Structure 1
């Protein structure tokens, strides 16, 4: 589909709406709040304060129909080669649901079940051997997802093990962590699909030396031979597969630390919550389809209104790591400028910049810019209806602030004093979780996964490769010898100058 055609249709609607205050748009559509509040499982999403009306929604639905977005979702679940630049399917959904009908999906679901049984076996072993602490050593998708889940579920679950995370190869972090741990009751988990991730192997070697054989070393990888060469025993290696990308992998053995911390049942409940959203995304009509409606809003804001960032604002400290997790999921998946088949450069903008942080803390940092800055930033407020504590006044305060900020951004305040004038018309969504249970967390993450994939379909890009990440890795390997040895020169003049400064300071 030629991009300019659908984009022109959307921008015509945006031009029609641009001078209409958002409160007036809401007022002239009496059914708007009901129409734009939709639910799936434990999630409810209110889009009533987005800057679009029924006619604009109709145009977006036509876009979804023309791009066959839900059919594309079916192809992905069934194991079609949706990752075209690497010639692979993307079967993270097979880790949690049997909805996929293709041979690859059916086989993937079977393999995932076998892997979970191995995960349970190893978790039982750690618990029986008196291990008290597990260090998850991985980076990117081998870190963000498990770290988010461990943090988010801590208040509602009794932990069987304490989980620690090592990602960047920073000696300060390693030393601080080792001071907290007893090697006689500590286990290590090295997570790397390729088992060649430099940061993970560096951290792993330091920690294995510190452990000195006094605790078990486990691995999750698709390269069993490399893990064995590293010294991991074969019965302590959990499988990964090429058909699961790192940022979609917490449902696999990458999530072993979640199971080890909270038990097999909790991990299974996490998967069940994700499976609920898989079925919803696949089967529910567009007007009531949570991830599709969300994806259409993102395309509208990015292309019709020209907004280039999105602030994600969870009003619950347990979700404080969600913006970081979504930075990778969204920007690594959608940060593309070429069509999925590689035939052409895009003529529209794709991934917005994702940023944010936990609710009321951020109100005291950058909310000034959200309300009165020169740029409009769409915001995504996330709240949990039922807390896991009994401090009612605190919970009410969080919700009062969440609701107030969404209302204030939309409606603004007129004032003759320009310093005290708020223009309003700043769009936001509110995503509500019934509670932060394992099921709800699984649904939340799967909701964003499906929205990201559907955005990629609408833009015609590949959500599952990340060649832009590779360039930096390759360049770092080329420069590494010059960092280690002052006599080795660098080709780039700026890099050479910076290396000179580094070496001088290290010899002073």
Structure 2
């Protein structure tokens, strides 16, 4: 039995006092399980408070998880990640998304900076009108190539009174999605951004071709002259028809769900300006520095992963809920779904052996206070335990009377308190068991740097979970099989499916 296996067995047998008992036994519990990451100075200063005190982590669990992190060589794998080593062994690649934020090998950081400068010049030229009048951008991608920009724009674009360039993000191959975007744009003043790492993604390239047809059919003489390509395969973009001066490359070592920091962030810079995009990078870098320079339980992403492992591995929780008490973060739970489930939803360890327990829980969530009137019944009185993360901002994002934000925050904090405390009753239907875990992420404000910090924190949290389980978070072979079968069907070569699939294909007229 390996040291790690022995530690996991010991963890499974540790007692787990109630949350109330943990607070009663340790007057220092709040300070011990609360931490803050900050950045900037003066008007650019900001921070995020991370409160994990309402989880069942205690001194004994923390000590054992620290031993597990050592046994799984957390420090070594972190060093491989941050210095450009082979962090993705199944594909023989580094994972250098932090280099886009200035943390990584010298060569990777230098390359990222050069590509950022290339993007900055093109963004400046477009916003200055040097490429003609541009009022709209249709950004076409899928997965990380679309969800990152969409999430960022949903959070940040609201603060722009009159966006210089209106951005529409399209990911779905369903033609309704592209039509909705086209209906909101004037083709004569619209640019198209095609975001695809390989520049072969079926959904993206099909949507891109239809967008070019739309430009052509509406009198745009040179549709390809209205296209910007965001890709790790620039030669394929040029072959497709994009002028080399409007191809914005990014490194092959930047994965799709980790790519917002690269040229995939082009629509964010176009809509909000380069300074805002740089602020996103700066917030992420602050978390990178904390993650790089802080060890053991004081490392906040690692501490969060300890709690994740406690609930998923030790207590059998199959889901984790994220509720953003801020309308601007309405897409953030969706973003985390892809980040966490595509990264850690794995069957085998890094050496190809079956995993010895659950890996990623199902990540889900929504926006408070809407969710309180939809799913919180299950959280408080359901028969399953669901760890909950609450995310909120001290500063409001609106100019309405203060009561709006005060009610929003009091609801957020009250839900965490109620999950922990519960309430007994002689009427079983009105009894709340309590002792249900939650964590709270409280931001000073919801601005560009905060968004960067939030995403980077969860990237590193996801990596920490992977290290503790011994899996590779940077491949995603599980998304390929269905895509391969779809291509076989489309090409007419698919056959021998199960009776249900054969009948569905026939009913839909696809056979």
The alignment status of 1:282 with 2:292, answered yes or no, reads yes
Q: TM-score normalised to the size of structure 2?
A: 0.93
Partner of residue 139, structure 1:
142
Alignment partners' CA distance in 1, 2:6 and 2:495:
51
Alignment equivalent of 2:248, drawn from 238, 241, 251: 238
The alignment status of 1:473 with 2:483, answered yes or no, reads yes
Preserved CA contact (<8 Å) 2:344 2:462: yes
The alignment status of 1:38 with 2:48, answered yes or no, reads no
Give SS of 1:134's match: strand
The alignment status of 1:444 with 2:450, answered yes or no, reads no
Partner of residue 297, structure 1:
307
Alignment equivalent of 2:215, drawn from 200, 204, 211: 211
Q: TM-score normalised to the size of structure 1?
A: 0.94
CA deviations on 1:291-330 (whole Å, 9 max, x unpaired) are 1111111111111111111000000010110110001100
Alignment partners' CA distance in 2, 1:64 and 1:2:
11
Preserved CA contact (<8 Å) 1:383 1:399: yes
Alignment equivalent of 2:54, drawn from 30, 49, 58: 49
Partner of residue 501, structure 2:
495
Q: Which runs of 5+ in 1 are unaligned?
A: none
The alignment status of 1:419 with 2:423, answered yes or no, reads no
CA deviations on 1:138-181 (whole Å, 9 max, x unpaired) are 00010111111111112334532111011011112222222211
CA deviations on 1:105-132 (whole Å, 9 max, x unpaired) are 2222111111111111221222212211
Aligned-residue RMSD, C-alpha: 1.6
The alignment status of 1:79 with 2:76, answered yes or no, reads no
Alignment partners' CA distance in 1, 2:361 and 2:325:
22
The alignment status of 1:268 with 2:268, answered yes or no, reads no
The alignment status of 1:171 with 2:171, answered yes or no, reads no
Partner of residue 88, structure 1:
93
Alignment equivalent of 2:334, drawn from 307, 320, 324: 324
Partner of residue 29, structure 1:
26
Q: Quote the offset at 1:3 in angstroms.
A: 4.8
Partner of residue 162, structure 1:
166
Q: Quote the offset at 1:288 in angstroms.
A: 2.2
Partner of residue 123, structure 2:
123
Paired residue total: 491
Alignment partners' CA distance in 2, 1:329 and 1:348:
20
Alignment partners' CA distance in 1, 2:168 and 2:317:
37
Alignment partners' CA distance in 2, 1:242 and 1:362:
39
Q: Quote the offset at 1:489 in angstroms.
A: 5.2
Preserved CA contact (<8 Å) 2:320 2:388: yes
Partner of residue 222, structure 1:
232
Distance 1:2 1:492, change over 3 A: farther
Q: Quote the offset at 1:493 in angstroms.
A: 2.1
Partner of residue 8, structure 1:
9
CA deviations on 1:433-491 (whole Å, 9 max, x unpaired) are 111121111111100011111111111100100010111111111122359xxxx8553
Alignment partners' CA distance in 1, 2:83 and 2:350:
18
Alignment partners' CA distance in 1, 2:177 and 2:339:
25
Q: Quote the offset at 1:337 in angstroms.
A: 1.5
Alignment partners' CA distance in 2, 1:255 and 1:9:
44
Distance 1:66 1:2, change over 3 A: closer
Preserved CA contact (<8 Å) 1:482 1:490: no
Partner of residue 202, structure 2:
198
Between stretches 223-232 and 461-470, larger displacement belongs to 223-232
Alignment partners' CA distance in 2, 1:444 and 1:24:
31
Alignment partners' CA distance in 2, 1:430 and 1:122:
39
Alignment partners' CA distance in 2, 1:63 and 1:493:
47
Q: Quote the offset at 1:285 in angstroms.
A: 3.1
Alignment partners' CA distance in 1, 2:419 and 2:391:
15
Alignment partners' CA distance in 1, 2:205 and 2:341:
25
